[in-house]
Amino acid sequence: MELALTAEERAFAEEVRRFLRAHPPETFPVEGVDAGYGSGAHSRAFLQALAAEGWLAMCWPKAYGGAERPMFFKLVLFEELALAGAPFGPLAGSWQTADAIIEYGSERLRREVLPAIARGEATFWQGYSEPGAGSDLLALTTEARRDGDDYVIRGHKIWSSHAGIASYGLVFARTSREARRSRGFSMFVVRNGTPGMDIRPIRSLTGDVYHHEVFLDDVRVPADLRLGPEGEGFVALLNGLDSDRFWGRFYKGPALARVLAQLVEHANTTVAHGAPLARDPVVRRRLASLAADIAALRLLFWRAACRMRDGAPITYETAMAKVLADETGQKLARLGMELLGMWGPLRRGSRGAKIGGELSHAYLTSLGHTIAGGTAEVLRTTVAVRGLGLPAEPRARAEAR
């Protein structure tokens, strides 16, 4: 494992910093769905600015309009954006979907969707969870029935993040009842607005709408919008979940490092109960302990990145890194709220709001992060089984057969 960036990667990091000076993240709103890592209209405008630099497609094969740059360039871009507090919510989803389309997609998907991703115009929601299927995803009941050159999808998805503002859904559905449990599923790329699709908002703790319920009432999808062979959607999904845990959390190390630096600055410049906060032994210990967690987190992700680059499996590494990322995010946000005291809940724009009013939003959204993309409990089981070689749960063993 080589921990240093190459000269080209360092030059690219400088190029991204130049871009960020020309597009200062501070000018972007932090309220509503543009808050945090951003997914609203302003964040999409930012995505298009990244696309104009050619950075969305830079690692794709030349045949699909890419520049065949090594994968680490994406990591360098992510790090610089996260360290600067720039919005990049839809970026990971676009990259992941593009990789899946390049690997499994039909010619039609490659022709229609890849150019839209490269221009920063296509974003995606994931239609996996259902009211009766979350951790036990294979209990899902949404069905895709073959009808001539099409499939007709019927079912109900829930918690689909950004479904209301994205361009396409990745809908995971059952295509066979007879096949072995894990072989009866397929993945479809369904354009928002397809007749029969009804997307309804779910309001979150912050008061904003990030998540949606999606009702699919005989939604007709051409067969060439299926992602990969029929019945092999579960393989695509598992690879996708590893990739989701990686790309959907890699930014957290640098993003949390940025928040930690803000809290350190706050502790250094704030007097509480007649003494500087920075001299409080409990505050110092908790900040130092979070610094260690964040450093470990960044190394875990870079280790997973090296394995990914070498084509090695990353299920164990990404499960471990995701748990640490989300739990560290919660600890940091909680400490931030405690240090800011009565100013903590104030949002940007409120009189007296500290640290740009970012902490209250970060605190509220951090709560769901240990549930999204696989709960911390389930991922600890993945670490135990895939990493430590402990026996699988009896039910999981039976189902795998």
Ligand X SMILES: Cc1cc2nc3c(=O)[nH]c(=O)nc-3n(C[C@H](O)[C@H](O)[C@H](O)COP(=O)(O)OP(=O)(O)OC[C@H]3O[C@@H](n4cnc5c(N)ncnc54)[C@H](O)[C@@H]3O)c2cc1C
The stretch among 82-90, 154-162, 219-227, 286-294 that binds ligand X (CB under 6 A) is 154-162
**Residue 135 or 350 having the CB closest to ligand X:** 135
Site string for ligand X, 351-370 (x = CB under 6 A): -----------------x--
Cβ closest to ligand X, residue 160 vs residue 186: 160
Q: Considering beta carbons, is residue 129 or 175 the nearer one to ligand X?
A: 129
* Residue of 161, 167, 318, 360 that binds ligand X (CB under 6 A): 161
Nearest residue to ligand X, scored by beta-carbon proximity:
134
Alpha carbon distance, N-terminus to C-terminus of the chain: 36
- Binding status of residue 383 toward ligand X by CB under 6 A: no
Residue 126 binding ligand X, by CB under 6 A: yes
Q: Is 39 in the site for ligand X (CB under 6 A)?
A: no
Whole-angstrom CA distances from 88 to 94, 185, 186, 252 are 10, 31, 29, 12
Site map 183..212 versus ligand X, x via CB under 6 A: ----------------------------x-
Does the protein bind ligand X through residue 123 (CB under 6 A)?
Answer: no
Can you tell me which of 37, 128, 234, 316 binds ligand X, judged by CB under 6 A?
A: 128
Sequence letter at residue 22: A
- Residue 135 lies near ligand X (rule: CB under 6 A): yes
Residue range at the interface with ligand X (CB under 6 A); choices 32-40, 97-105, 155-163, 276-284: 155-163
| Among 29-37, 99-107, 125-133, 300-308, the segment contacting ligand X (CB under 6 A) | 125-133
Which positions lie near ligand X, rule CB under 6 A?
A: 125-129, 134-135, 159-161, 211, 368, 371-372, 374-375, 377-378, 381
